[in-house]
Amino acid sequence: MPHDNPTARCVEGDRYEAEVPDTLDLAERMALAINALTNVWDAESRWGLKFIVDFSRNPAVLFVNHLIDVYLNIPPKFVEALALCRLASGDKSSLDVDAGVIQAQVDLIGEDGLTYCPTDIFDRVPMGIAHFAEGEADEMTPFAEIWGEGRQLVTMSILAQVDDDSQWIEIGKRKVDRILSLTQEKDGFRFLWRAQYQPGQNPPSNADEPGMTPDEGGGLYSKEDLFTTIYSIGSTGHGAGLFYRVTGYEPALELCRGLARWALARVFNSEDGRYTFWHYHHGLYALMAVCEYGYAVGDREVLERVDACYRWAREMGDPLIGFYPEVQQGTDRYLERYGNSVEICEVADMVWLALYLTRAGLGDYWDDIDRWVRNVYAQGQLCDPHLFEHIPDSYYNTEPDNRPYRDDTDIRERSVGSFFGWMRANEALTVNQTPDGPKLMDSSIMHCCTANGARTFFCVWDSMVSRSGDLVKVHLLLNRASEWLDIDSYLPAAGKVVLHIKDAPEAAVRIPEWCPTDAVRVTVGTEARRGLVEGRYLRIGWLKPGDRVTLEFPVPQREVHRVLGEIPYKLELRGSDVVSIDPKGVAYPLYENSPSGEQVARTRFIPKLKGIIW
């Protein structure tokens, strides 16, 4: 059991007041996310998680999805996101929730290291998805979900870095060992023969890959079998690879390697990067697991395949603003199922891959990251509950709501900081045309997006500034406090960025793709300087603590026409930022609150903990 709250160390650090521009600040956004991450729990039911927010009703409703999401798959994602968001923002609110959830998750760990659903709660939450054969399990049999185990490995990797308690590594090792025993070897790779496991269950001697019997179309897998397999490999491969990088535990590398080789053999096997799996997020998560393996062992050939797949997937959505739908374009389910709406999970996955591939030297994808973070990604976070006040009353669902486990207490306010699912390009809430007129869709937020969106914001925040020797690099022109320098970005309101030097003898600032490097005017204090151009970076030397470096440049404004989710739009952009969209959204419209760039008072935070591996 935890001897104290493992996330408490994340909020230790230096705080100070500063006047900063009122523009996008990821640390502030992560503080908002903490509100959502701590307001979904049922403390009386073993800290079960309520997964779906329905804004089609007034008042809004929060309710559980099914048992797997209540206890197994989603809670570890929230723990990871809470630790990372607190580390970036220093936000101390509701720290007791972190402790309660972590304690409850530890209580569900079995003797073999896997996390099992509680058997004393079946009468209070729906059983939901089960993958057992008929007669193999009943509702009183505990089971573990392999996808959740992968997320647990990610969480153990983070907790091991923010907390001194060695139990997180020991728990992770037990999980790795048990998961390895559940895999089968074949043709140089490993596969998981099913998604859910009861205590003591092991693969039969003749266990083979799911879907090995050819389907009617002659393919190796049916859609359902392949979904289960990719779904399992993404989180488990990612979790095992991260655990190996944090701890050096060799069995974790073996698990990550075996699953990555399966994915390379069965899914990502085209040199040009094409793959045909229809669910964008789970396909990308499997690709992330392959990337994690290639990065962990420095395998250039594997990373080149990941890069090819990333570049192909980038074109299957809209790379200008980061519109990546739930269903991948080019598959037979594109318009059949939410092909014209976005889960933030997909956008976050693409950003994560862009960060890793850039770090590994496979490409320079900072401009992709900049465009996507500023547009669909940032717009996908619920920041202003007052926008709900403009929804026409006729859009709400007034039919009786008989769903069990519903919660309608202050849901709008409790959901601030969440990330939307099923967004249109101009609209956070999907509006469907019905015989009774326009109506809001009855699911608006699925909290997998909240955890993924919040976690990957940290990955961007952590990557924005880096140091090598005396050189500090600024990769993105967003607000950021750091131990070496602070960034004040006035974009898109004005073409101006100010660096407040603390400990950076030299600084190199990456100039966005839309601005010629020779158009940037640099001053240090009142003295004009000429920066040294190195690719897209402008390097400024001879800096000392207390210097104020100002970069000023023109910001082009342009109009573009895009088809996003089969719907045509006109966009107005300033630099990378969409500042207006036509047609406008009617329920919860996006791109309505362009940053003012005006000076506002903010508390900036520098965490004591450094160098977190994510």
Q: Are 417 and 33 in contact (CB under 8 A)?
A: yes
What share of the chain has pLDDT > 70, as a percent? 93
Domain assignment of residue 273, yes or no? yes
pLDDT of 541 reads 97
User: Which single residue is written with the structure tokens 């399966």?
Assistant: 262
Confidence of residue 231 (pLDDT cuts 50, 70, 90): confident
CA dist 247 to 113, 251, 531, 612, Å?
Answer: 17, 11, 41, 13
> For residue 358, what pLDDT band results from cuts at 50, 70 and 90?
very high
pLDDT band at 216 (very low <50, low <70, confident <90, very high): very low
For residue 211, name the pLDDT band (cuts at 50, 70, 90): low
Q: Can you give the pLDDT at residue 77?
A: 97
Are residues 295 and 279 in contact, defined by beta-carbon separation less than 8 angstroms?
Answer: no
User: Is 390's pLDDT higher than 90?
Assistant: no
Q: Is residue 1 scored above 60 in pLDDT? A: no
Comparison of pLDDT for 137 and 574, the residue scoring more: 574
Residue 513 lies in a domain: no
Q: Which residue has the tokens 């804004």?
A: 55
Q: Using 50, 70 and 90 to split pLDDT, how confident is the model at 219?
A: very low
Whether the per-residue pLDDT at 128 is higher than 60: the answer is no
Nearest CA to 459 out of 350, 384, 297, 315 is that of 350
**Where are any strands of DSSP class E within 475-547?**
485-489, 496-501, 506-510, 521-524, 527-529, 532-534, 537-540
CATH number at residue 233: 1.50.10.20
Band of pLDDT at residue 124, cut at 50, 70 and 90:
low
Q: Does 141 reside within a domain?
A: yes
**Which residue range is the domain that position 200 belongs to?**
8-387+398-463
Q: Is residue 607 part of a domain?
A: no
Q: Is 611 a member of any domain?
A: no
Instruction: Give φ, ψ of 73 to 5 degrees.
Output: -85, -45
User: pLDDT band at 20, cuts 50/70/90?
Assistant: very high
pLDDT at 611 over 80: yes
Q: Total structural domains in the chain?
A: 1
Asked if pLDDT for residue 209 goes beyond 90, the answer is: no
CA dist 105 and 78 (Å) reads 11
Q: Which residues contact 204 (CB under 8 A, 6 or more apart)?
A: none
What digits encode the pLDDT tens for the residues 164-191? 999 999 999 999 999 999 999 999 999 9
pTM summary value: 0.95
What whole-number distance in Å separates Cα of residue 94 and Cα of residue 103? 15
Residue 276 scores a pLDDT above 50: yes
The answer as to whether 63 is a domain residue is yes
Q: How confident is the model at residue 160 (pLDDT cuts 50, 70, 90)?
A: very high
Q: How confident is the model at residue 386 (pLDDT cuts 50, 70, 90)?
A: confident
Let me know if residue 512 belongs to a domain: no
Q: What share of the chain is helix, strand, coil (3-state, %, to 5)?
A: 35, 20, 40
Long-range contacts of 387-392 (CB under 8 A, 24+ apart): 387/588, 387/589, 387/592, 388/55, 388/60, 388/412, 388/588, 391/58, 391/429, 391/440, 391/587, 391/588, 392/438, 392/586
For residue 567, pLDDT beyond 80: yes
Nearest CA-CA partner of 553 in 515, 606, 527, 591 = 515
Instruction: Assign 150 a pLDDT band (cuts: 50, 70, 90).
Output: very high
pLDDT per residue over 399-430, tens digit each? 988 877 789 999 999 999 999 998 999 999 98
Percent of the chain with pLDDT over 90: 80
Question: Which single residue is written with the structure tokens 């974009």?
Answer: 491
Asked if the structure places residue 369 within a domain, the reply is yes
Structure tokens, 551: 């970069």
**What does the chain come to in residues?**
614
- Give the lowest-confidence range in 123-137, 143-157, 297-311, 368-382: 123-137
Q: Which of 63-67, 223-227, 293-297 has the lowest mean pLDDT?
A: 223-227
